[in-house]
């Protein structure tokens, strides 16, 4: 006769393994319920994993472009606002020049000079607008102030010194000399023409500008870039500075009526060119804004397609996963109860 040893250890071990397996599966299911995708994508997709990684990389690139496009949009909006201030300053200056054309009153001429100075200050402030730590109108030299302040007094700006030297060289006396009343209209016209040549030539970048001619470009899609700002070397801004300086420096220095008319007419002409030029730059940036909007629409469509494709490959039925979690919780609760009862099984309890 043989006696068999009876033990509940095997039952306890089997239950322990079942509980551990259920706990592991429940952790995975809870993660999948939250994320909506397989907890271990590689194990589920196998050879298709490289495909989903490519899709994720493409999606990240599209989302990055959308993010940079947001900054480009803000940059363009800030540039448009600053250009709008310049255009308004030019229009206001032109209105003053037209209203005071032919006037000889010293008070009115001084008022015109003051208005030209205010417009020049507005233009300088707008031209030196910065966004996100970069100057908008400095071209690719975005870390330097693009436009020097003509009205700076201590020390006088390079542009102011250059103007005074040019006046003295041309006429043989300064603006405060009584001899200004003897300047002939033709002589004044010749001086202003030389001044225009100076502003439109390399002297502009010596005396006025620190900006580069090359504008900032921003990538808005995988194959498209746009001009995201302009620079103070554009002809419209040069003519704006020229017209304001001519009006500010020459209207109230005691010229004859005929010579003053040459000054007024020239300043009005330059203001007209400035308004046309600045508004032209605004139009260019407006086209860039439109292209960014179109690019974002295209990116949104691509992001939707990629997201859907990734979800089709990696996604799970969250309702099914939640139901499975509930089932496992019930099974674990039952397993804990059974384990407790098995551990309490002992012959001593029945002797």
* Residues 6 or more apart in contact with residue 69 via CB below 8 angstroms: 218, 220, 292, 295, 296, 299
Of 149-163, 306-320, 337-351, the range with the lowest mean pLDDT is 337-351
Q: What is the mean pLDDT of the chain?
A: 84
Whether the per-residue pLDDT at 227 is higher than 80: the answer is: yes
323-346 average pLDDT score: 64
Q: Please, what CATH class does the domain formed by 55-304 belong to?
A: mainly alpha
Query: What are the structural domain ranges in the chain?
Result: 55-304
pLDDT at 23 over 90: no
> What is the pLDDT, as a whole number, of residue 108?
83
pLDDT exceeds cutoff 90 at 138: yes
Average pLDDT value for residue range 152-174? 93
Q: Are strands 130-131 and 217-221 parallel, antiparallel or unpaired?
A: unpaired
Angle at 30 between CA 29 and CA 31, to 5 degrees: 90
Give the least confident one: 14-28, 56-70, 274-288: 14-28
Dump pLDDT digits (tens) for 269-307: 999 999 999 999 999 999 999 999 999 999 999 999 988
Lowest mean pLDDT segment, chosen from 24-28, 30-34, 38-42, 256-260: 38-42
Which residue bears the tokens 């299911």? Answer: 29
Pairing of strands 224-227, 130-131: unpaired
pLDDT tens for 106-123 read 788 888 888 899 999 999
Lowest mean pLDDT among 4-13, 137-146, 178-187, 333-342: 4-13
Q: How many helices (H) and strands (E) does the chain have?
A: 10, 4
d(CA 351, CA 342): 18
DSSP SS3 for 111: helix
Whether 69 has a pLDDT exceeding 80, the answer reads: yes
Residue 127: the pLDDT is 96
């Amino acid at each position: 006769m043989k006696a068999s040893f009876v033990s509940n250890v095997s039952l306890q071990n089997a239950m322990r393994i079942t509980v551990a397996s259920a706990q592991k599966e429940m952790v995975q299911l809870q993660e999948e319920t939250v994320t909506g995708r397989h907890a271990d994508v590689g194990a589920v997709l196998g050879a298709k994993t490289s495909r989903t990684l490519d899709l994720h990389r493409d999606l990240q690139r599209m989302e990055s472009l959308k993010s940079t496009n947001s900054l480009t949009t803000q940059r363009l909006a800030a540039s448009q606002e600053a250009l709008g201030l310049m255009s308004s300053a030019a229009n206001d200056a032109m209105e003053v020049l037209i209203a005071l054309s032919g006037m000889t009153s010293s008070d009115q001429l001084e008022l015109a000079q003051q208005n030209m100075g205010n417009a020049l200050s507005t233009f300088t402030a707008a031209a030196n607008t910065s966004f996100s730590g970069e100057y908008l109108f400095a071209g690719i030299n975005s870390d330097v102030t693009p436009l020097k302040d003509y009205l700076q007094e201590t020390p006088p700006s390079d542009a102011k010194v250059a103007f005074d030297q040019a006046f003295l060289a041309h006429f043989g006396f300064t603006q405060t000399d009584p001899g200004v009343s003897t300047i002939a209209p033709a002589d004044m016209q010749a001086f202003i023409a030389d001044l225009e040549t100076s502003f439109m030539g390399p002297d502009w970048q010596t005396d006025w500008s620190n900006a580069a001619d090359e504008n900032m470009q921003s990538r808005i899609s995988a194959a498209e870039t746009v001009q995201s700002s302009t620079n103070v070397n554009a002809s419209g801004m040069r003519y704006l500075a020229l017209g304001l300086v001519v009006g500010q420096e020459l209207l109230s220095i005691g010229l004859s009526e005929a010579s003053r008319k040459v000054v007024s007419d020239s300043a009005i002409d330059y203001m007209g060119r400035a308004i046309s030029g600045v508004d032209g730059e605004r139009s260019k940036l407006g086209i860039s804004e439109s292209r960014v909007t179109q690019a974002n629409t295209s990116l949104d469509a691509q992001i939707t397609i990629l997201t859907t494709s990734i979800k089709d490959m990696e996604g799970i039925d969250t309702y099914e996963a939640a139901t499975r979690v509930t089932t496992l919780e019930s099974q674990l609760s039952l397993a804990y109860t059974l384990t407790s009862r098995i551990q309490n099984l002992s012959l001593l309890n029945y002797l």
